[in-house]
């Protein structure tokens, strides 16, 4: 298995946001809420990719999963969130299946464009077996 590029990582199990990782650097976090129960969505697998290269292919940057609060900070090294197009893939089908529901959406992909280097990005995601909503958070 190959290692993630320097500065990128894989967060397995509960993800914790450490303030020192945010000092002087960029970060991308997500927060997923189950709107059926009104509770955080725990254990959702997430994948972050960036559109790169001359052929514009998706390059996976990291994998992670949501913690008991539905948060999952995707840690990027200082200056890593740069201008470009990113894709956040969230495996909602497996999540709903483990709760005993059939989901209309087997996964949710949020594709977003960063127009300038930024210090912090936050993407909230509200999910149910038959709908989802997202927006640019603060």
**Length of the chain in residues, anyone?**
138
Structure tokens at 35: 């709107």
| Cα angle, residue 95 at apex, residues 123 and 102 outer, rounded to 5° | 115
Say if residue 62's pLDDT is above 60: yes
For residue 53, what pLDDT is reported?
A: 82
pTM tops 0.85, yes or no: no
pLDDT digits (tens, 9 = 90+) for 27-60: 788 899 999 999 999 999 999 999 998 889 999 9
Distance between CA atoms of residues 76 and 6, nearest Å: 10
**pLDDT confidence band for 77 (50 / 70 / 90):** low
pLDDT digits (tens, 9 = 90+) for 95-130: 999 999 999 999 999 999 888 766 678 899 999 999
Alpha carbon separation from 115 to 52, 57, 73, 88, 89 (Å, rounded): 15, 19, 21, 17, 20
Alpha carbon separation from 34 to 21, 41, 75, 115, 132 (Å, rounded): 28, 5, 23, 30, 9
Kindly list the structural domains of the chain, giving each domain's residue range(s) and its CATH number in brackets, ordered by start: 27-134 (2.60.40.180)
Report the share of the chain in percent with pLDDT over 90: 54
For residue 104, what pLDDT is reported?
A: 97
Residue identified by tokens 């129960």 is 37
Distance between CA atoms of residues 112 and 130, nearest Å: 22
Distance between CA atoms of residues 70 and 134, nearest Å: 14
Are 121 and 114 contacting, i.e. CB atoms less than 8 angstroms apart?
yes
**pLDDT confidence band for 76 (50 / 70 / 90):** low
């Amino acid at each position: 298995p190959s290692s993630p590029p320097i500065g990128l990582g894989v967060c397995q199990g509960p993800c914790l946001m450490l303030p020192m990782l945010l000092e002087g650097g960029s970060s991308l976090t997500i927060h997923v809420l189950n709107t059926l129960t009104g509770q955080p969505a725990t254990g959702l697998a997430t994948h972050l990719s960036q559109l790169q290269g001359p052929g514009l292919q998706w390059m996976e940057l990291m994998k992670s999963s949501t913690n008991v609060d539905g948060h999952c900070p995707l840690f990027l090294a200082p200056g890593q969130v740069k201008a470009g197009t990113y894709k956040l893939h969230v495996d909602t089908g497996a999540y709903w299946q483990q709760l005993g529901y059939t989901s209309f959406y087997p996964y949710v992909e949020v594709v977003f464009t960063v127009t300038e280097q930024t210090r912090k990005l936050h993407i909230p995601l509200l999910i149910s077996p038959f709908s989802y909503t997202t927006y640019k958070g603060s």
